[in-house]
Structures are given as structure tokens and as C-alpha cells.
Amino acid sequence: MKNKVFIISSYTISLVNFRIELIKELQRQNFEVIALGPENDKETIKKLSNEGVRFIRYNLHRNGLNPISDIFSILMLRKILKKYKPNYIIPYTIKPVLYSNIAKKGLNIKSLSLITGLGYYGNTPTNIKEKITTRILTQLYKFALNSKDVLAFQNTDDIDFFKDRKIINFKSNYCLTPGSGVDLQKFNYLPVNSKNVNFLFIGRLIKSKGIELFIEAAKAIKKSNISCTFTVIGMFDTNSPDAISLELINDYETKGIINFIGEVKNVLPFINNCSVFVLPSYYREGVPRTLLEALSVGRPIITTNNVGCRETVHVGENGLLIPIKDLNALINSMMFFITNKDKIAKFGLASRSLAENKFDVKLVNQIILDNLIKE
């Protein structure tokens, strides 16, 4: 009889976009895989079905803490767990990790939780509301996580963070993966066209992902009548405390500062078409997936010396690191590639090499499997 494993997401589309290779590897290892998500996204459900994966919807509000809706999520998850009786669960992102581990208490289910970044929880609180929220999340982690289960971190900063808050200790089971990995065959190397420099930003359109910095840098460079392109791809997150407005984005596109694409389901053609990938994030990242995809395609990287981001850059070899919230450093880094176009291809080759040696999804999935089934 096959072992049954649940993959539990906070965003249904991510099951295919970010976890399909893990799902396929689990199936190759004779697991029955069931995927859970909060949205009935028909395209995702069809793709999962084509791979022989059952999809189950559950209720989840991704942003904020709401005791009523969050308790309802936990109760719904527990009902699903008791009905389908998985041997293992693999939740990822904060709420699925917390709520599915609480839901499985008292049930004979093992978990491997993917800590894919801490978001606002990893920031220093600046007001009473943030301090209270941080304390609540710390207590929820302590209550939810069992020392016998496994935590898979994407960077050592997050391990230290959990240790400092006494969420994990020397008895805890945890491992380190180089991000969520990237499919080197899907995101294959493609030589870059460096004649017309195209800087690409992909991410949620919130301030902490660096979108405002990207736009301000584009505006400053465009004032100098330098011929280059600044492309923005991403979804608006109106529930986020630092969301930016559609009006602001549209205004800069109208002025010819940026080329705004919006949200897309397949980012590969846009990465293929860019010269340099830019993510000036000061969000508490795990290892951003978009950076890994850009590495794999063979694109130079400009990102911040920030948790999770710095792991993707060997400075002066495949990219440049800038201090967080440093607009001048971002402008100077962009100007480096504009004035040294011959470096773009060389840096891109180094990015591909880094992806092959460190971030191959096969390496990541093997770490997850080894830790999932260990006694």
C-alpha cells in the first residue's frame, strides 16, 4: 500500500508553479500525493489531475490574523486529515505550516514543514500591533511544531531566528535546503541579448519587495536619456500593509518609465527576454524563486544583501549586491551593466553555473525526501 502525503499550500497556483517537481519526485518514490489549496483554480486543478494528483480545497485567509477564520481553517484541515489519513504532510508558507501542524495533533501523521521565509514576522516590530502579532506567532510556532517532526529551512538566518526565539533547540529535527530549487530543464540556459538592456522585476507589488526602488531607479536613469527598458511583472496585493496602488504603476507606465505586464502564469518568456534580473527586496525572504529562475536561464542578478537574497549572488561574478533601501546603490548597479554590456553575458554564464551547482531542484527534493522518511 502506498504511503500518502499531503502537500499543503496557501496559494493554489503555487502547487504547479513551485512544487510540481517535488510532487513528481514523491510519485516516483511510490507516494500517493494529494494537494491542498484555498482557491479552486481550474487550470491548476487540471494540471494536477493530469499528473494523477487529487486536489482538495480548504478555507484560508492568507493575510493577517483573524481568530474566527483561522480557527475555522484549522478545524477544516483536521476534518480533512481525519478523513484521508495521510502518513505525511508537507506544508509550506507560514499559515499552512502553523495550522496543519496544529490540526494534526493527536493523529498519527508526520510532517516536514518548509520554512520558505518569515515575511513580516521576521522584521523588528515597530509598533504595539506588530509586537503583539509577533508574540502571537512565536507562541503559535511553539505550540504547533513537534520536535519529532522536521523543519526544512532555506537559509541559516531563519534557523538562527527560530533558535533565538526558542522555537527550535538541540532536540529539534531540521535541515537546510538551497531554496525551493529550480528545474534546470524548464528554465534552460539561453544566451542573453545585451544590445538593448532590459531590466526585469518580478514579484508581488509591495514596497518591501523593492518595487518602488526599482521604479525610482528607472525614473532616474530615464532622465539621462539612456536607452534601456524596465519591465515589471507582478500581482497587486491589496491586503498587504505596504501594497502600492494600480494608479501609481499605471502613471509610470503612461510616462514611459516602465513597461508593466501585470500578473502572468508563465514568467519564462519574460526572463528569457531580459538582460538583467533585479529584485531590491527588503522582505524577509527564504530564497526567492524568481532569483533562482533567473539564475538558471543565465541572467545577471542585482539584489539586496538581505536574508535569502544574498545566497544567489557571488559579487562581481554573477551579480551585484546592494544595501537594502539604497536607491543610489541600485542606480549605480544598473549603470554598471548599461556601461559594461560586455559583462552581461559573462555574468549570465556564472549565474547558470551557480544554479547547476547549488540550486538544482533535484538536489533540493532529495534533501526533502531523505528527511521526510528518516526515522
C-alpha to C-alpha distance for 134 and 155, rounded to whole angstroms = 20
Evaluate whether 230 touches 214 at the Cβ level (below 8 Å). Answer: yes
User: What's the alpha-carbon Rg for the chain, to the nearest Å?
Assistant: 21
Q: Can you name the CATH fold of 3-181+360-372? A: Rossmann fold (3.40.50)
Question: What are the C-alpha distances in Å from 151 to residues 6, 111, 159?
Answer: 16, 8, 9
How far is the C-alpha of 198 from the C-alpha of 140, rounded, in Å? 44
- Boundaries of every domain in the chain: 3-181+360-372, 198-358
Q: Do domains 3-181+360-372 and 198-358 have the same CATH topology?
A: yes
Please name the residue that has the C-alpha cell 532536540: 171
Q: What angle, 0 to 180 degrees and rounded to 10, lies between the N-to-C axes of helices 327-339 and 342-358?
A: 110
Side chain identity at 20, as an amino acid letter? I
- Angle (CA) 87 183 314, round 5°: 115
* CATH topology assigned to domain 198-358: Rossmann fold (3.40.50)
Answering whether pTM is above 0.75, one says yes
| Cβ–Cβ < 8 Å for 308, 157 | yes
CA atoms of 21 and 27, how far apart (whole Å): 10
pLDDT in tens, the chain (375 residues): 789 999 999 999 999 999 999 999 999 999 999 999 999 999 999 999 999 999 999 999 877 677 889 999 999 999 999 999 999 999 999 999 999 999 999 999 999 999 998 988 887 777 888 888 899 999 999 999 988 899 999 999 999 999 999 999 888 899 999 999 999 999 999 999 778 899 999 999 999 999 999 999 999 999 988 899 999 999 988 777 788 988 999 999 999 999 999 999 899 999 999 999 999 999 988 999 999 999 999 999 999 999 999 999 999 999 999 999 999 999 999 999 999 999 999 999 999 999 999 999 999 999 999 999 875
Of 106, 178, 95, residue with least CA distance to 133: 95
Whether the Cβ atoms of residue 293 and residue 268 lie closer than 8 Å to each other = yes
Distance, CA of 200 to CA of 291 (rounded, Å): 11
